[in-house]
């Protein structure tokens, strides 16, 4: 350490400066600014926030893009373009028509298969094998209606390799005059026989996410569905929260007997899961967006009311409330001007957590057939339609599934982040 020489003159009394000590050096942070600062530090929550923003913007803009480019709407059907996928291919489906020649282990048949594998093949006898290439009904998928039958006779001198040569040669012969078809190949690998039709692959530039069973554009329907799902969720959560705030605020502030009665009502209503009420109520209404919202609001407000009541009970003996009471403010003013603004933090967290629940509830209802009626396209409706033909066209389920899961995922993570940011007491 360096030796520092200090003498008496270095310690001079600077005197009192009351003004300077009162001065606030940094700008004071309001509750919301402080919360925002904390939220910004939370990378997961911020990423979720931006994902949600993108999803919401796409829901607003998506249908407009495809409408202006191609004139699609969520209900416009085009039966010539059914069940298209994102990556198109003109490889043809293939199926075994008749077979006297070999034994094989049962293969799982799959609709529109361009490749089949016969496992554990064994030569059995001589005779005829025939395959069907393409299908007349497959116009939308293949771009043409061509259908070919490939037949080969097997005689007793044939071995596996000569049979495969025959099959390949025959394939080339019957497909020679088809320009956009790249052929068919037969291969023997170990004890399996693999048959594959080849074709060109290209990006589906007209339907980016493919089409559904009625040839409706899935890109348009997905974002149109987003509009409906978000709309239902946002409006229901908003109304639910307002009602819950009033109910909980009054119950918590007034306390006593009124609080007892109001809380018993909630307890009774909360005992049975919302979904049962929802189903029961919806059975008696005609399907539509409005009934769903009414039902979701009717069954969703209890949680918010409880949270608000708890917060109000905690805050109603604070100094600022007592001060307001002394100054002669009435209950309405105290609840609205003093208590509610101070419970906004937990309310906002609760709202963020409610939105995915509402989206899930809507999807659930649409899935069991009580949701948004056709031809509307909420995410639940899309998932329901996709689930029906999932085995043939997985993309029709996977696309809305990703949208729903991503939204629920992001809202949950954002809600966690908001809770940490808005309620510093809960932080570890």
Strand-pairing partners, residue 201, are 89
DSSP-derived letter for residue 334 is: I
Strand, coil or helix: 148: strand
Burial class (CB in 10 A: 0-12, 13-18, 19+), 70: middle
- Nearby residues of 114 by Cβ (< 8 Å), 6 or more positions away: 89, 91, 92, 93, 94, 196, 197, 199
- The count of residues interacting with another protein (CB under 8 A) is 40
**Residue from 21, 161, 271, 326 in contact with another protein (CB under 8 A):** 271
Q: How far is the CB of 287 from another protein (least distance, A)?
A: 11
CB of 212 to another protein, least distance (A): 15
Candidate residues 87, 268, 322, 426; the one interacting with another protein per rule CB under 8 A:
268
Beta strand spans in 184-262 (E): 184-189, 192-197, 201-203
Smallest gap from residue 328 Cβ to another protein (A): 38
70 binds another protein, rule: CB under 8 A: no
By CB under 8 A, residue 412 contacts another protein: yes
Helix, strand, coil percentages in the chain from 3-state DSSP, rounded to 5 = 55, 10, 30
Q: Cβ 120 to another protein, closest distance in Å? A: 15
**Closest separation between CB of residue 286 and another protein, Å?**
9
| Closest by Cα among 177, 173, 151 to 163 | 151
228 interacts with another protein by CB under 8 A: no
Q: What is the DSSP string of 309-338?
A: HHHHHHHTTSHHHHHHHHTT--HHHIIIII
CA 284 to chain centre: 28
Site residues for another protein, 392-411, by CB under 8 A, read 394, 397-398, 401, 404-406, 408-409
Nearest to 262 by CA among 252, 274, 272, 271: 252
Q: How far is the CB of 355 from another protein (least distance, A)?
A: 13
Which residues are paired to 196 by β-bridges?
A: 115, 185
Single out the residue of 116, 133, 297, 363 in contact with another protein (rule: CB under 8 A): 363
> Is 203 an interacting residue with respect to another protein (CB under 8 A)?
no
**Of how many residues is the chain composed?**
428
Which CB sits closer to another protein, 152 or 295? 295
Site for another protein in 374-393 (CB under 8 A): 380, 383-384, 386-387, 390-391
Closest of 317, 311, 307, 296 to residue 371, by C-alpha: 296
Q: Does 111 bind another protein (CB under 8 A)?
A: no
Is residue 109 close enough to count as binding another protein by CB under 8 A?
no
Residue from 33, 369, 423, 426 touching another protein (CB under 8 A): that is 369
Main-chain dihedrals φ then ψ at residue 153, nearest 5 degrees? -95, 135
Please, what is the minimum distance in Å from the beta carbon of residue 387 to another protein?
4
284 is a site residue for another protein (CB under 8 A): yes
Q: Does 87 interact with another protein (rule: CB under 8 A)?
A: no
Residue whose tokens read 């999803």: 55
Binding site for another protein (CB under 8 A): 108, 267-269, 271-273, 275-276, 279-281, 283-284, 356, 360, 363-364, 367-370, 380, 383-384, 386-387, 390-391, 394, 397-398, 401, 404-406, 408-409, 412-413
């Amino acid at each position: 350490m360096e030796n520092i020489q200090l003498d008496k003159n270095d310690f001079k009394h600077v005197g009192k400066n009351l003004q300077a000590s009162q001065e606030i050096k940094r700008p004071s942070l309001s509750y919301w600014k402080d919360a925002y600062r904390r939220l910004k530090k939370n990378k997961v929550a911020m990423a979720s926030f931006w994902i949600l923003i993108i999803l919401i913007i796409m829901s607003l803009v998506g249908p407009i893009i495809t409408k202006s480019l191609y004139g699609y709407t969520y209900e416009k059907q085009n039966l010539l373009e059914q069940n298209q996928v994102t990556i198109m291919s003109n490889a043809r489906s293939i199926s075994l028509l008749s077979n006297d020649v070999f034994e094989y282990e049962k293969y799982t048949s799959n609709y529109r298969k361009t490749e089949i594998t016969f496992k554990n093949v064994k030569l059995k006898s001589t005779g005829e094998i025939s395959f069907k290439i393409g299908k007349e009904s497959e116009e939308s998928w293949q771009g043409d209606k061509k259908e070919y039958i490939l037949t080969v006779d097997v005689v007793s001198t044939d071995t596996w390799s000569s049979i495969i040569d025959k099959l390949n040669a025959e394939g080339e012969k019957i497909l020679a005059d088809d320009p956009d078809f790249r052929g068919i190949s037969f291969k023997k690998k170990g004890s399996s026989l693999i048959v594959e039709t080849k074709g060109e692959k290209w990006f589906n530039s007209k339907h980016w996410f493919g089409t559904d069973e009625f040839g409706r554009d899935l890109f348009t329907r997905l974002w149109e569905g987003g509009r409906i799902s978000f709309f239902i969720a946002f409006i229901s959560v908003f109304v639910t929260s307002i009602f819950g705030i009033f109910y909980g605020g009054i119950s918590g502030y007034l306390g006593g007997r009124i609080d007892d009665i109001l809380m018993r009502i909630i307890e009774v209503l909360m005992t049975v899961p919302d979904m049962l009420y929802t189903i029961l109520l919806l059975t008696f209404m005609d399907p539509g967006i409005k009934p769903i919202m009414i039902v979701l609001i009717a069954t969703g407000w209890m949680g918010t009311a409880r949270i608000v009541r708890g917060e109000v009970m905690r805050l109603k003996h604070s100094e600022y409330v007592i001060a307001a009471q002394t100054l002669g403010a009435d209950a309405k003013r105290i609840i609205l001007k003093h208590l509610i603004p101070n419970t906004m933090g937990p309310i906002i967290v609760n709202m963020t957590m409610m939105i995915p629940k509402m989206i899930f509830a809507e999807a659930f209802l649409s899935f069991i057939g009580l949701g948004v009626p056709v031809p509307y396209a909420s995410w639940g409706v899309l998932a329901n339609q996709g689930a029906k033909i999932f085995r043939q066209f997985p993309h029709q389920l996977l696309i809305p599934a990703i949208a729903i899961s991503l939204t629920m995922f992001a809202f949950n993570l954002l809600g966690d982040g908001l809770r940490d940011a808005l309620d510093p007491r809960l932080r570890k």
